[in-house]
């Protein structure tokens, strides 16, 4: 007598295992990328300090930095230097959104641009998001970038036209958007974040600063715990 479950019963279980395995792989990739970024950042910061001990440290947050959400009862500020084409940043995106949902009452979330030179469309994406931000649409455009990253990331083609369709979908004033994209000051705004990041020792993405100090952790659990502790203090 055959006691094995029918193939139709085994298939869903197998599918679930595959899905969970893929999700686990994404989280692992995010943490590995983050740890590597931290190691690179520490090395860069050490080399910078050796080169010149008199260099004035750049601000972690500027008056024009993009605030993702302002905590009404702020106890801590989490700043993320990110690249919209970075896969680790994309993997961290749902994690950040979950943390916002849990700690937005006490933790202010700030994001700064740090497009990496190895990504063809990272600067284009940052300029597109900053252009949308000038119309008060930073958050929806940032979400759109990460939710579609798999469709345009790592492409050898310029995806500025695709990013323009995102702005149209958000109902932005397209004349104003096009003007902002073409205005050199928009890219200069992105480059300011890059310069500050480099001065702070940022060399990879994502790199986080919690209460003005670079957050160096070795696991997702440590990352979440650090934010939870800051929110509780």
C-alpha to C-alpha distance for 80 and 215, rounded to whole angstroms: 10
CB neighbours of residue 191 within 10 Å: 15
Closest to 84 (Cα-Cα) out of 133, 158, 4, 148: 148
Contacts (Cβ under 8 Å, ≥6 apart) of 184? none
Closest to 191 (Cα-Cα) out of 120, 126, 128, 133: 126
Q: How many C-alpha atoms does 26 have within 13 Å on its Cβ side?
A: 16
Please give the pLDDT value at position 57: 81
Two structure tokens written together for 224: 């979440």
According to DSSP, residue 4 is labeled S
Closest to 79 (Cα-Cα) out of 93, 71, 68: 68
Please give the pLDDT value at position 12: 45
C-alpha to C-alpha distance for 106 and 99, rounded to whole angstroms: 11
C-alpha to C-alpha distance for 207 and 196, rounded to whole angstroms: 13
In this prediction, the residues of the chain whose per-residue pLDDT falls under 70 are 1-56
C-alpha to C-alpha distance for 31 and 187, rounded to whole angstroms: 29
Contacts (Cβ under 8 Å, ≥6 apart) of 93? 143, 146
| Contacts for 38-41: CB closer than 8 Å, 24+ residues apart | 38/204, 38/207, 38/214, 38/215, 38/216, 38/217, 40/203, 40/204, 41/201, 41/202, 41/203, 41/204, 41/207, 41/214
Please give the pLDDT value at position 145: 98
Please give the pLDDT value at position 27: 55
The phi, psi pair for 174, rounded to 5°, reads -70, -30
Closest to 89 (Cα-Cα) out of 150, 169, 11: 150
Q: Per-residue pLDDT tens for 96-138? A: 999 999 999 999 999 999 999 999 999 999 999 999 999 999 9
């Amino acid at each position: 007598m055959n006691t094995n479950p029918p193939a139709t019963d085994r298939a869903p279980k197998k599918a679930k295992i595959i899905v969970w395995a893929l999700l686990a792989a994404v989280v692992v990739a995010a943490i590995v990328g983050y740890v590597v970024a931290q190691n690179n950042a520490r090395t860069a910061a050490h080399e910078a300090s050796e080169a010149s001990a008199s260099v004035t440290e750049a601000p972690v947050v500027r008056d024009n930095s993009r605030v993702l959400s302002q905590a009404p009862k702020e106890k801590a500020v989490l700043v993320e230097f990110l690249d919209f084409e970075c896969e680790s940043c994309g993997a961290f995106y749902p994690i950040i959104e979950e943390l916002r949902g849990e700690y937005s009452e006490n933790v202010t979330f700030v994001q700064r641009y740090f497009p990496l030179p190895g990504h063809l469309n990272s600067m284009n994406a940052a300029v597109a998001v900053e252009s949308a931000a000038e119309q008060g649409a930073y958050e929806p455009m940032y979400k759109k970038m990460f939710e579609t990253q798999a469709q345009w990331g790592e492409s050898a083609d310029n995806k500025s036209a695709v990013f323009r369709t995102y702005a149209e979908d958000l109902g932005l004033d397209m004349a104003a958007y096009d003007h902002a994209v073409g205005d050199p000051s928009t890219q200069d705004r992105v480059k300011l974040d890059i310069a500050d990041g480099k001065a702070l020792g940022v060399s990879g993405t994502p790199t986080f600063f919690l209460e003005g100090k670079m957050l160096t952790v070795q696991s997702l659990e440590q990352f979440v715990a650090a934010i939870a502790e800051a929110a509780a203090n």
